[in-house]
Amino acid sequence: MPLLIRNADIVNAESRSRGDIYVENETISRIGQNLQAPPDAEVIDATGKLVFPGFIDPHVHIYLPFMATFAKDTHETGSIAALIGGTTTYIEMCCPSRMDDALDGYRLWKSKADGNSACDYTFHMSVTKFEARTEAQLREIVADGIASFKVFLAYKNFFGIDDGELYQTLQLARKLGVIVTAHCENAELVGRLQQSLIEQGKTGPEWHEPSRPESVEAEGTHRFATFLEITGCAGYVVHLSCQRALDAAMAAKSRGVRLWIESVLPHLLLDKSYAEHRGVEGMKHVMSPPLRHHRHRKVLWDALGAGFIDTVGTDHCPFDTAQKLLGKDAFTQIPNGIPGIEERVNLLYTYGVKSGVLTLQRFVDAASTQAAKLFGLFPRKGTIAVGSDADLVIYDTGYHGTISAATHHTNCDYSGFQGMIIEGRPAIVTVRGKVQVRDGKFVGERGRGRMLRREPGYF
């Protein structure tokens, strides 16, 4: 069915204009004034609301075997939560461990998502080892439409790779035109610090942050940047959390290293005091890199507003209360991560745009357009333009609400942002022209999402 959105206040990363948007065959076919539509078209009046391109979460975990358990969302629950929050495309981390076969892992992740996601999706392919057959397997995965890799400089003996494997991965990525995303810590230092703290009887969640201090993240960021510089590969630091890591990344960029930076919602809005609560309340906020001292929040917001931090993701990783309690005797056993895929857009708008830190254009750029450009989706995604997919968010800036686990849609029994006020939420969300959400309720097609195949070579 054709769709006509009238009286749209259209906000793109580099522009703002008023007009009508006409959609047919899943794409935007016309933008202009007083557009006409056939009698069978659905017509939506967007008067008084902002219209954004569908938002893209560049860092999501849906299916994830990790730390003796599994993340709680399915692609159905995770995608519905994403859509209600205005995210119309997510990039999931495909994360087979070092013990698993990479190609088998990729096929498994694809099978979990296929036919089950309500919004579009793609993957970052994790490289968790580099052996004789790895290059051929990665070439096959890239040929299937994956244009980004993921490496972990953490989680030794599970996801983590050594420096030799990192070098081989970056060399191959450079040849293929693939960007490499990286979790930047130092696995050896983390392991040693964890062991020392546990031996001292320091077992609660409050010791998670001291086991992964800012210096460790800064070292990992510097090391990743050095390898990028040597190999000529393009890289992307995920979930950067602190000033020292930001300084290392910015120093590399000033030398001409092709490096982009992501921060994630928890590091912008929360601090380490949340993980210092006793018992499971503290465990709920254990993630890696950990929540930092509150002084880093302003640093990250300022860098985001200035465009030094390029994107905002969530690192959505829902483990429920029972799973968090696996670490009741030692913080090293707490599954890392918190949910956030549903809250990102509304919280970023409320505490970024409404507070004056972000312009509307920078908001769209950080939450949609930059991810589309970096990961081979632009201009199909990330912009409102003729020929682009009709992923649209009609945003109600007059809405006021409170975040609560009692009302969110992710499959987790707590929210890391419980009680936070939001000022604004999506009124209408479309995926390729079909209305999927109305006024906070999913009303669409559960299996509508498609895997987005991307071409390498942007880098």
Query: Mean pLDDT per segment of 10 residues, for the chain of length 459 residues?
Result: 97 98 98 95 98 98 90 97 98 96 97 98 98 97 98 94 98 97 97 98 98 98 98 98 98 98 98 96 97 98 98 97 96 96 98 98 98 97 98 98 97 96 98 98 97 85
Structure tokens at 315: 């690192």
Please name each of the domains of the chain with its CATH number: 55-374 (3.20.20.140)
Q: Are strands 3-12 and 15-24 parallel, antiparallel or unpaired?
A: antiparallel
Q: Is 328 helix (H, G, I), strand (E, B) or coil?
A: coil
Tally of CB atoms within 10 A around 441: 10
Residue with tokens 């809005």: 269
Strands (E), 139-284: 148-152, 179-183, 235-237, 259-264
| Angle value at C-alpha 439, between 438 and 440, nearest 5 degrees | 95
Positive/negative CA dihedral, 280, 284, 287, 292? negative
| Phi, psi (deg, nearest 5) at residue 239 | 35, 50
Q: Look at residues 207, 199, 263, 256 and name the one whose alpha carbon lies nearest to residue 229.
A: 256
- Whether this model's pTM surpasses 0.75: yes
Q: What is the pLDDT of residue 458?
A: 63
Q: Which residues on neighbouring strands pair with residue 90, listed in sequence order?
A: 57, 121
3-state SS string over 392-423?
EEEEEEEEEEECCCCCCCCCCCCCCCCCCEEE
Cβ-proximal residues to 456 (8 Å cutoff; 6+ apart), any chain: 142, 147, 176, 177, 178, 376
Q: Is 210 left (phi over 0), alpha (psi -120 to 50) or beta?
A: alpha
Q: What is the pLDDT of residue 376?
A: 97
Q: Which letter does DSSP use for residue 369 in this model? A: I
Q: How far from 386 is each of 21, 29, 49, 206, CA to CA, in Å? A: 9, 5, 21, 51
Strands (E), 284-391: 311-313
Q: What is the pLDDT of residue 459?
A: 64
Q: Is 386 helix (H, G, I), strand (E, B) or coil?
A: coil
Tell me the helices (H) and strands (E) count for the chain, helix number first: 15, 19
Q: Which residues on neighbouring strands pair with residue 89, listed in sequence order?
A: 56, 120
Q: What is the pLDDT of residue 78?
A: 98
Q: Are strands 434-438 and 421-431 parallel, antiparallel or unpaired?
A: antiparallel
